[in-house]
Structure 1
């Protein structure tokens, strides 16, 4: 008999297994409502609204059985979402949609081209509108009172996430139980975050027979507040099919939300065949994901590293011993996979330490993501009682996305308990007056030349005199990061690097000198999940020091009411004209030549279209030359230069676009959405955390004139499509990407660093 859980599913037992006997005892103690109880549509006043999410891949029969247990619930969900990583039969989808319509359940179906469980779960959070997302595997059987119990549990606002009890009949065979005992002996998942949420324990925890605190969630069945998923998101970079994604998410949320186990309900996980039977791949994911999750969410001291050595020693020994019995080839392959996973984790890190990076290895720290907005107000109030001073260091306050983001941030930080000041290594630049008018001091001309080491005592003295507790270097690499890091350490201040560049395999910004200073930087701020992953993967930034704070904009500057007609008149746009613009600094990576080439194609098919290039920069002459070579008349393609009235101009445009080779998290994208302008952007960086194709805009290939022209063609020809995506984007930016949320994120980060220093 094989010892593997998957092979034990078909073993028949004349006597119920201990797991099933225990399951029956729980059912007797906590019986479901009577069989004849009437089902009812969800009542928004009774508990939280629920959306059931099923992520599936080519397992139609398994999905059908799982959905059947949803129809019999005593409380029906508000929504049913099926995220398809394969190709479900159209007839099955039609039946599901029809049944949902009969029961009054909102039906949503989404098929993805790129497979990935964590990505599916993040997409579901964006598509749903219910308060709580109930994630179920497509091979579970749910008791009829599951959703009713969850709705009642989440009526307690202190609960952030919960899992019911999960029965695993596949693990009831003797060989499978022995295999699981080996994992328990190894201390598998014994390491966990030590932090507790700042909020008091929820009232539900007083009933120990019903609810208890849980260290993690179960991927087979778990319920999470939708706001938490939108804020933190499942990590999409986990290897393979994301083995351990449920525990990684729980570990990352542990400092912010109460996670509990609902003991009155037990879900049966059937563990049906899924095409994941490659033992070597399974072993590789087991090792690499386990180490990656612990390294990025827990503080690993000497004791934890000793436990990890014991853990993998036991697992390797166990696989070797089981290989002596049945299924030898599978266990040897899984043993090789474990070794592969250990190598995948440690070799790149050893290379970064000893090969070219030059920094010392150190224990990884748990990353802190920005706490959800609903929990940020008390923190902001607490920080206000003890104000923090922060020095933001940049090169020059010129017209650009990162610079406007800095100006928008420092103008509002004082409301959140942080007193900012700005230091420019070069001259102050045209945006300095925006800061000074808001009462934010600006100091400039601190660096006389690139190798001017005297900037260290200048910055350190400024930080000391102003009683600065944190220095924030605004940018990726370069002089700002290097001199700010050294000056911060000289002044005894904490150091933060606010990155606005998303690296790739071919393009990195952190020079060797700055990489050597990694250990002196306390936190790196990324603008999105993909940005954070890129910093860790390509720049070798310690993952435990990365925090995610999304860009936000001052929505009051983008009140489009009453502005559209004057703005269109200023742009020279008549009633039938379609205004299409690009708002970006004139730099090579922005690829204005691609925009001009696409404009020539669109103008040939839509003579009513007018094109505007808004921005200035070092590539001014080459952009002007490309415009001349295009043959487009000056009244069709206009170069507007740098403008201070971008919100007004965007209100007059119909379409705004970017076609860059690289983007991180574009401010132009948010501004276009706030102004009610349809947006077209490249598939790169963290743009997809806002840009949902066909919903909040259109996505195109980076730096591809044909792809851009096709998208602009669609929008130029379809006013209804323009209005639909513009309205959806505006609603989302108003709900999630105001400057207040960014300020709360920085206030929370800087306050924590000040208190820990």
Structure 2
């Protein structure tokens, strides 16, 4: 198959350029663009949806290619490629040239549908797409409600989209979708069956991570970034441990504040009961083995880890941010607290650890509607959307 020539590489290594020319692909060609392929919520939702499409949809007429601008870990790329999804990783491109390289790659692919999952790539691609003679259908999937500087340009160009998909009702009501021509809401979900299988093996997973049988296991899966507010989480954990010495906190994830968080654990002398695990491949199994999922974020969209917890029947204690209220009802399947209050978060964890309350919350989590959490139905929904838009 033909590869792009050196003049179109914009400074990228040829090894990172996937063959795009050659025989036409059958069916609907879909290009999914995401800024990073790290283990964050938006990235995991995209990967899990494409994997579900490969597993569950028979005689699919859709061919997928994923383009990412960088990837700090190869875990998600490897999973996609193992499932037969083409991945184009532009990590080797100089930052100053990466968006030009992105536009050139999409132009050469000539997809029928372009779905962009991050504001910055969307800003670069929308004007180009509108000026293309055989332009693809343009879709943007909005994963969060934050308002970074790029959102102003995002708002100015969002009217060029054919459809905007919000991952939760809260996102659909937020200013993150202002300027959209038509907003559709789709809660993405997770692999419910897999989570339930991991829940059945909880004892094995707890032994893997050296969690005592008598411990009450609180798990946090979140990248170590300012918006996740691990500092407040440690303040709350210290207060919980003073009241309930049987509590154990495992913190999984990666990011720029990981080492700082580990130092803070050491400074507070919490090392025996609070552990910073770093990145954990397949962290969903750790979520399924927990007694409680705990999040302390300032900002969220609709966290994948919350859906993983509910699918496994694990209750959630979290700050009331983003799309959390769309999934968590305090007193039924978890407890929500005001953001920024370590005392409130600690109090909610202690309340959820009460045996009677914990039984009630676990029962509520286990009763969560599996269809609303199942990624397989979302994969089918997107395929139908893509095919309908192309036909139209």
The two structures have a TM-score, normalised by structure 1, of 0.45
* Separation (CA, whole Å) in 1 of partners of 2:116 and 2:138: 8
More deviation, 391-400/444-453: 444-453
Choose the corresponding residue for 2:383, options 725, 734, 747: 747
Report the aligned-residue RMSD.
Answer: 2.2
* Deviation (angstroms), 1:484: 3.0
2:69 maps to which of 400, 403, 425:
425
Name the counterpart of 2:95. Answer: 449
User: Equivalents in 2 of 1:755, 1:641: separation in Å?
Assistant: 46
- Check the 8 A contact 1:580/1:656 in 2, yes or no: yes
Aligned twin of 2:140? 497
Q: Are residues 1:737 and 2:373 paired?
A: yes
Q: Which moved more, 1:587-596 or 1:443-452?
A: 443-452
Q: What residue number does 1:275 align with?
A: none
Q: Which 5+ residue runs of structure 1 have no aligned equivalent?
A: 1-385
> In the alignment, which of 432, 442, 459 is matched to residue 105 of structure 2?
459
Provide the rounded CA distance (Å) in 1 between the counterparts of 2:50 and 2:124.
21
Q: Which residue is equivalent to 1:92? A: none
Aligned to 2:17: none
Q: Which has the higher contact order (CA 8 A, sep 6+)?
A: 2
CA apart distance, 1:434: 0.4
The alignment status of 1:436 with 2:81, answered yes or no, reads yes
Q: How does 1:302-341 map to 2 (within 5 A)?
A: none
Matched, 1:391 2:31: yes
Larger radius of gyration: 1
For 2:202 and 2:125, the matched residues in 1 are separated by 43
Go from structure 1 to structure 2 and tell me whether the alpha carbon gap of 1:412 and 1:561 turns closer, same or farther (over 3 Å shift): closer
Q: Which residue of 2 aligns with 1:485?
A: 126
Pick from 500, 524, 533 the counterpart of residue 164 of structure 2: 524
Judged with a 3 Å threshold, the aligned counterparts in structure 2 of structure 1 residues 519 and 562 are, in CA distance, closer, same or farther, namely closer
Kept in 2: contact 1:394–1:423 (CA 8 A): yes
Q: Distance in 2 between matches of 1:453 and 1:530?
A: 30
Contact 1:611 1:637 in 2 (8 A): yes
Question: Compared with structure 1, are the counterparts of its residues 459 and 485 closer, same or farther at alpha carbon in structure 2 (3 Å cutoff)?
Answer: farther
Map Cα deviations across residues 316-349 of structure 1 (whole Å, 9 max, x no partner): xxxxxxxxxxxxxxxxxxxxxxxxxxxxxxxxxx
- Partner residue in 2 for 1:405: 45
Match of 1:586 among 224, 227, 239: 224
CA distance in 1, matches of 2:371, 2:116: 29
Q: Which moved more, 1:431-440 or 1:452-461?
A: 452-461
Q: 8 Å contact 1:508–1:539 — kept in the other structure?
A: no
The secondary structure found in structure 1 opposite 2:352 is helix
Structure 1 stretch displaced more, 418-427 or 667-676: 418-427
Tell me how far apart the structure 1 counterparts of residues 102 and 138 of structure 2 sit (CA, whole Å). 14
Structure 1 residues 512 and 656: CA distance shift in structure 2, 3 A? closer
Question: Could you say which residue in structure 1 is the equivalent of 2:272?
Answer: 635
Residues of 2 paired with 1:443 and 1:645: CA distance? 23
Q: CA deviation at 1:552?
A: 0.7
TM-score, scaled to structure 2: 0.85
5 Å-filtered alignment, 1:667-746, equals: 667-716=304-353, 718-746=354-382
- Structure 1 453/656 Cα, relative in aligned 2: closer, same or farther at 3 Å? closer
Task: Map 1:292-311 onto structure 2 (within 5 A).
Answer: none
Correspondence 1:625 to 2:263:
yes
Structure 1 residues 439 and 604: CA distance shift in structure 2, 3 A? same
Change (3 A) 1:456 1:565: closer
Q: Number of paired residues?
A: 358
CA distance in 1, matches of 2:340, 2:163: 32
**Superposition pairs for residues 39-78 of structure 1, below 5 Å?**
none
> 2: CA distance between counterparts of 1:500 and 1:425?
17
The Cα of 1:672 is off from its aligned counterpart by 1.0
The equivalent position to 1:541 in structure 2, one of 171, 174, 179, is: 179
Cα gap change, 1:667/1:509 in structure 2, threshold over 3 Å: closer, same or farther? farther
Q: Is the 8 A contact 1:389 1:418 kept in 2?
A: yes
- 1:484–1:495 CA contact under 8 A, matched in 2: no
Question: Per-residue deviation at 1:725?
Answer: 1.7
- Write out the 4+ residue segments of structure 1 that deviate beyond 4 Å after TM superposition: none
SS in 2 for 1:664: coil
Q: Relative to 1, partners in 2 of residues 1:454 and 1:651: Cα closer, same or farther, differing over 3 Å?
A: closer
Deviations 1:565-612 (A, max 9, x none): 111212222232111111101110000111100000010011111111
What's the counterpart of residue 595 of structure 1? Answer: 233
Partner of 1:554: 191
SS of residue in 1 equivalent to 2:70: coil
How far is 1:518 from its partner? 2.3
Change (3 A) 1:454 1:684: closer
Change (3 A) 1:722 1:487: farther
Report if the CA contact (8 A) 1:424-1:444 is conserved. yes
Secondary structure of the 1:729 match is: helix
Q: State the distance in 1 between where 2:275 and 2:47 align.
A: 28
Q: Does 1:515 align with 2:155?
A: yes
- For residue 450 of structure 1, report the CA deviation from its aligned partner: 3.7
Q: 2:38 touches 2:71 (CA, 8 Å); kept in 1? A: no
Deviations 1:285-336 (A, max 9, x none): xxxxxxxxxxxxxxxxxxxxxxxxxxxxxxxxxxxxxxxxxxxxxxxxxxxx
CA distance in 1, matches of 2:84, 2:182: 31
Q: Structure 2 vs 1, CA of residues 530 and 690 (structure 1 numbering), >3 Å: closer, same or farther?
A: same
Aligned match of 2:203? 565
Aligned residues of 2:103 and 2:124 also touching (Cα < 8 A): no
- Alpha-carbon distance in 2 for matches of 1:733, 1:450: 46
Judged with a 3 Å threshold, the aligned counterparts in structure 2 of structure 1 residues 432 and 495 are, in CA distance, closer, same or farther, namely same
**Deviations 1:36-85 (CA, angstroms, capped at 9, x unpaired):** xxxxxxxxxxxxxxxxxxxxxxxxxxxxxxxxxxxxxxxxxxxxxxxxxx
Distance across 1 between alignment mates of 2:129 and 2:122:
10
Please, which runs of 5 or more residues in structure 2 have no aligned partner?
A: 1-25
Structure 2 CA distance for partners of 1:441 and 1:541, relative to 1, 3 Å: same
